[in-house]
């Protein structure tokens, strides 16, 4: 979902660059307020993991693939604000060293995959924890469903940017329909991968999962 | 940090490396969702070449050697390590930001 240079005009790209920089600034302070010393290596590891996972494009339909965004995954593991930083680091490394995502589009990409996906997805995650029936798999289940939502939201983010500053003369409605159609399918892949990874971490170290604390605690008591 | 957490982090890093070096070899070559839509809706031609497209690791090491498997493996390994270091650095800064805030608050309190 990395936007290259040229697709969105310079003014719009710069504007979203300012939004992204502001988001990173807020995230640095917010993350610092809750991140403990022992979580620093974990957060770094989550960034490395998201980079690695994004290299795997899975086939979706003939002629189209998708890859994990990892925004919601990071939000559940280390918290939504830390996830903003995780994705910003990943996108910066990809944009600078791997020519993946245009340099002028870095702000746009950070807004879609680093701000909208983790923050919007995490809001959906919190909501799902409230409405899903209580069970001992609620954390990976809610994470998977919220991951699906995060992809659709991020795709919508691109459409909004395209509507504001798209350089091609293509109708926004057509782009919206196509983007949602494609990313509803890709979102299923994101949901499966996220549920699988969160489930694996929950099975081994639930105490390290930031989003587990928000889950209804009664499940533990019921199991015991 | 306790031993269990160190083991967990080491295993996590190993899994990341396996993803970047091995699983990535099986990645689909088809365009991703956005690129696919850009092709279908006819705005792929507005995309410009990357400003740093001539760097050795551009496009995940595509032009590094004649061996595509090796290129992907090298790009995956280096990218994962660089992201780990950069991520650790950013979160170290975030921690310091908080420490600075607390120090500032402490001096303002009577």
Give per-residue pLDDT as tens, A19-49.
999 999 999 999 999 888 888 999 999 999 9
The per-residue pLDDT of chain A, averaged, comes to 95
The conformation of residue A3, written as its DSSP 8-state character, comes to P
- Indicate the pLDDT class of residue B30, thresholds 50, 70 and 90: very high
User: A46 vs B43: CB contact, 8 Å cut-off?
Assistant: no
The conformation of residue A112, written as its DSSP 8-state character, comes to I
In chain A, where the domains are located? 10-212
Between these two residues, B50 and B2, which has the higher pLDDT value? B50
pLDDT greater than 60 at residue A218: no
User: A179 vs B51: CB contact, 8 Å cut-off?
Assistant: no
Count CB neighbours of B9 within 10 A. 18
pLDDT greater than 90 at residue B75: yes
**Can you tell me the distance from the alpha carbon of A30 to that of A22, in angstroms, rounded to the nearest whole number?**
12
User: A100 vs B59: CB contact, 8 Å cut-off?
Assistant: yes
The least confident of A17-21, A92-96, A216-220, B78-82 is A216-220
Residue % of chain A over a pLDDT of 90: 92
Q: Could you tell me which of A94, A61, A80, A76 has the C-alpha nearest to residue A191?
A: A76
- Indicate the pLDDT class of residue B103, thresholds 50, 70 and 90: low
Question: Which residues 19-58 on chain B approach chain A with CB closer than 8 angstroms?
Answer: 19-20, 23-24, 26-34, 36-38, 40-43, 45-53, 55, 57-58
Structure tokens at A137: 């798999």
Alpha helices in B1-110 (DSSP H): 3-21, 33-40, 58-61, 68-108
Residue % of chain B over a pLDDT of 90: 83
B53 contacts on A by Cβ (under 8 Å): 99
pLDDT for A36: 87
User: B19 vs A49: CB contact, 8 Å cut-off?
Assistant: yes
pLDDT for A189: 98
A184 touches chain B (CB under 8 A): no
Give per-residue pLDDT as tens, A102-158.
999 999 999 999 999 999 999 999 999 999 999 999 999 999 999 999 999 999 999
pLDDT for A216: 82
pLDDT greater than 70 at residue A160: yes
Residue A59, H or E segment: strand A58-61
A186 touches chain B (CB under 8 A): yes
pLDDT for B1: 80
Cβ–Cβ under 8 Å, residues B27 and A57: yes
pLDDT for B60: 96
b/e string for B21-33 if b means 16 or more Cβ within 10 A?
beebeebbebbbb
**Can you tell me the distance from the alpha carbon of A152 to that of B108, in angstroms, rounded to the nearest whole number?**
45
CATH of A10-212 given 3.20.10.10, 3.10.180.10, 1.10.1760.20, 3.30.390.50: 1.10.1760.20
Residue A175, H or E segment: helix A172-204
Chain A residue closest in CA terms to B36? A64
If DSSP codes are grouped into helix, strand and coil, which group holds residue A6? coil
pLDDT for A219: 46
pLDDT for A221: 47
pLDDT for A223: 46
pLDDT for B101: 64
B94 contacts on A by Cβ (under 8 Å): 27-29, 31-32, 35, 82, 85
Chain A residue closest in CA terms to B17? A52
pLDDT for A37: 85
User: B5 vs A97: CB contact, 8 Å cut-off?
Assistant: no
A160 touches chain B (CB under 8 A): no
- Indicate the pLDDT class of residue A166, thresholds 50, 70 and 90: very high
Structure tokens at A115: 């701000």
B16 contacts on A by Cβ (under 8 Å): 45, 48-49, 51-53
B60 contacts on A by Cβ (under 8 Å): 55, 98, 100
User: B50 vs A33: CB contact, 8 Å cut-off?
Assistant: no
For residues B32-55, give the mean pLDDT: 97
In chain B, where the domains are located? 3-108
User: A32 vs B98: CB contact, 8 Å cut-off?
Assistant: yes
pLDDT greater than 50 at residue A224: no
pLDDT greater than 60 at residue B110: no
């Amino acid at each position: 979902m990395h936007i290259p240079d040229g697709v969105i005009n310079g003014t719009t790209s710069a504007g979203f660059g300012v939004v992204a920089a502001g988001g990173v600034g807020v995230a640095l302070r917010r993350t610092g307020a809750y991140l403990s010393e022992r979580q620093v290596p974990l957060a770094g590891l989550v960034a490395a993991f998201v980079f690695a996972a994004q290299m795997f494009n899975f086939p979706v339909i003939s002629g189209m693939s998708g890859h994990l965004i990892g925004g919601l995954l990071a939000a559940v593991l280390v918290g939504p604000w830390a996830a903003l930083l995780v994705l910003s680091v990943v996108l910066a490394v990809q944009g600078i060293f791997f020519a993946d995502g245009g340099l002028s589009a870095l702000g746009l990409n950070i807004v879609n995959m680093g701000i909208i996906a983790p923050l919007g997805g995490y809001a959906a995650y919190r909501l799902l924890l409230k409405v899903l029936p209580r069970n001992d798999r609620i954390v990976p289940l809610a994470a998977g469903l919220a991951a699906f939502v995060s992809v659709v939201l991020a795709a919508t983010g691109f459409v909004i940017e395209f509507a504001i500053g798209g350089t091609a003369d293509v109708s926004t409605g057509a782009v919206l329909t196509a983007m949602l159609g494609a990313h509803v399918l890709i979102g299923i892949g994101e949901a499966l991968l996220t549920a699988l990874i969160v489930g694996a971490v929950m099975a081994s170290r639930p105490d390290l999962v930031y989003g587990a604390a928000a889950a209804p605690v009664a499940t533990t008591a019921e199991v015991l | 940090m306790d031993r269990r957490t160190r083991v967990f982090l080491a295993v996590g890093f190993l899994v990341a490396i396996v993803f970047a070096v091995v699983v990535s070899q099986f990645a689909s070559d088809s365009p991703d969702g956005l690129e696919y839509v850009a092709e279908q809706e006819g705005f792929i031609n507005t995309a410009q070449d990357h400003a740093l497209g001539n760097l050795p690791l551009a496009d995940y090491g595509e032009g590094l050697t004649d061996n595509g498997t090796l290129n992907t493996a090298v790009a995956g390994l280096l990218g994962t390590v660089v992201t780990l270091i950069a991520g650790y650095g950013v979160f170290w800064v975030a921690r310091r930001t908080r420490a600075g805030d607390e120090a500032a608050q402490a001096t303002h309190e009577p």
